[in-house]
């Protein structure tokens, strides 16, 4: 994404007031409600961005990985919690530098607005996923997300799942057991290979796209759509895709 690349390059080459910080698994980067003093650029590892509900349940809004920015907004306090789930490295920028640079550099300002727009779009897409997609569709969408995050040259190989089943469940609005069951169902359908719980390989990209509810937009919307098209072209021509309306039975969040 051009916006993320520009922001990364700008922060690297401008005189930025930053420090490099390493976080251990389960260590917080920041807490919801704390004064927003910093902007975070993840350079390695995986971070969950989440809120705790009043009954103690956790809703994960985002998985941030290498290249992602956190807390790049204008709120006086952090709106979510952010916690490392692997070893994480981050460049932490002082908020005063961010505010000053935003005022002084029009290109930076424009791309920050684009970043905020992308963040809002992602939140809207997650709302649609939680409200309208079945358990299998949600899980297929998550596999698409992991495929998108993988390096381009690794998308035909086995991809490591760095989140626990509980993390995935809290992101998809499902239970641990349902996530495990849906992953094995994707394996049984021939969509993915799952030799170990922490890694997978896409075997049929077009079927994956259809199960994720994205079949109509393959080649235009999914960032890794061309890979999905190439991976699944044989199954498509052989008529192995499931029929329209496959698995339309909806599951309730946390059910």
Evaluate if residue 248 carries a pLDDT over 90.
no
CATH hierarchy code of domain 2-130:
2.60.120.10
Separation in Å, CA 51 to CA 2, 9, 22, 96, 141 = 29, 30, 22, 26, 21
* The two three-digit tokens of residue 115, written as one number: 């970043």
Where does CATH 1.10.10.10 sit in the chain?
133-237
| Per-residue pLDDT at 9 | 61
Q: What is the pLDDT of residues 203-247, one digit of tens each?
A: 999 999 999 886 544 433 344 444 455 544 444 333 344 444 444
Helices (DSSP H) in 39-175: which residue ranges? Answer: 95-104, 106-132, 135-149, 165-172
Which tokens belong to 251? 């599951």
Start-to-end CA distance of the chain, whole Å, equals 35
Task: For 119-151, write each residue's pLDDT tens digit.
Answer: 888 777 777 777 778 999 999 999 998 998 888
pTM of the model: 0.77
pLDDT of residue 127: 75
* Residue 44 scores a pLDDT above 80: yes
The rounded mean pLDDT for the chain is: 81
Q: What is the pLDDT of residues 80-91, one digit of tens each?
A: 999 999 999 999
What residue spans in the chain does CATH classification 2.60.120.10 cover?
A: 2-130
CATH 1.10.10.10 fits 133-237, yes or no: yes
Cα(135)–Cα(141) distance, integer angstroms: 10
**Number of neighbours of residue 114 by Cβ within 10 angstroms:** 16
- Give per-residue pLDDT as tens, 180-205: 999 999 999 999 999 999 999 999 99
């Amino acid at each position: 994404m051009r916006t993320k690349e520009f922001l990364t390059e700008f922060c690297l080459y401008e005189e930025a007031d930053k420090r490099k910080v390493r976080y251990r698994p389960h260590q917080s980067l920041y807490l919801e409600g704390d004064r927003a003093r910093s902007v975070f650029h993840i350079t390695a590892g995986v971070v969950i961005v989440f809120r705790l509900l009043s009954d103690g349940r956790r809703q994960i809004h985002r998985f941030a990985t290498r290249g992602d920015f956190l807390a790049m907004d204008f709120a006086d306090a952090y709106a979510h919690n952010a916690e490392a789930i692997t070893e994480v490295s981050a460049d932490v920028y002082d908020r005063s530098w961010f505010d000053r640079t935003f005022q002084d550099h029009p290109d930076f300002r424009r791309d920050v607005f684009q970043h905020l727009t992308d963040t809002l779009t992602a939140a809207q897409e997650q709302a649609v996923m939680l409200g309208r997609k079945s358990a299998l569709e949600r899980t297929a969408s998550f596999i698409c997300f992991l495929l998108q995050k993988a390096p381009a040259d690794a998308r035909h190989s086995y991809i490591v799942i760095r989140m626990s089943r509980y993390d995935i469940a809290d992101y998809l609005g499902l239970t641990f057991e349902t996530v495990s069951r849906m992953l094995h169902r994707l394996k049984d359908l021939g969509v993915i290979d799952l030799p170990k719980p922490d890694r997978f390989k896409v075997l049929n990209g077009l079927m994956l796209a259809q199960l994720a509810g994205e079949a109509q937009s393959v080649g235009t919307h999914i960032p890794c759509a061309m890979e999905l098209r190439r991976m699944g072209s044989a199954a498509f021509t052989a008529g192995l895709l499931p029929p329209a309306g496959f698995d339309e039975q909806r599951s309730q969040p946390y059910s």
